[in-house]
A = this chain, B = another copy of it.
Amino acid sequence: MAAMKAHVWVMPKQTVLDPQGQTIQHALASLGFSAVRDVRHGKFFVLELNGLSREDAQKLVERIAKDVLANPVIEDFRFEILD
């Protein structure tokens, strides 16, 4: 029941265009970094959780990721719970 952390990654779905990632890839190419063939740009969240069991933390973070942090129409998410 101590403090826990959660990491949440939110990325554009593979089938969805990622204009920010493409812009970065083009910028890198114009700077001479042509070895970078593709860039995907996403969000990363670190949550600090208090007073939850690991099981409850799993459920809570999944719900928060799905309902608040990600837009499931165009984004995928994954998360991990750290003790």
| Interface residue ranges, A against B (CB under 8 Å) | 3, 9, 11, 21, 24, 27-28, 31, 33, 35-52, 56-57, 60, 64, 68-69
Task: Report A61 CB to chain B, min CB distance, Å.
Answer: 9
Q: Give CA–CA (A1, B82) in the complex, Å.
A: 34
Contact B11 A36 (CB under 8 A): no
- State whether A35 and B9 are in contact (beta carbons under 8 Å apart), knowing that A42-B44, A68-B24 are contacts in the complex: no
Choose among B9, B36, B44, B68 the residue that contacts A48 (Cβ–Cβ < 8 A).
B36
Query: In whole angstroms, what is the CA distance A28 to B45 when docked?
Result: 13
Q: Which of B33, B40, B44, B64 contacts A64 (CB 8 A)?
A: B33
Q: Which residues of B contact A31 (CB under 8 A)?
A: 68
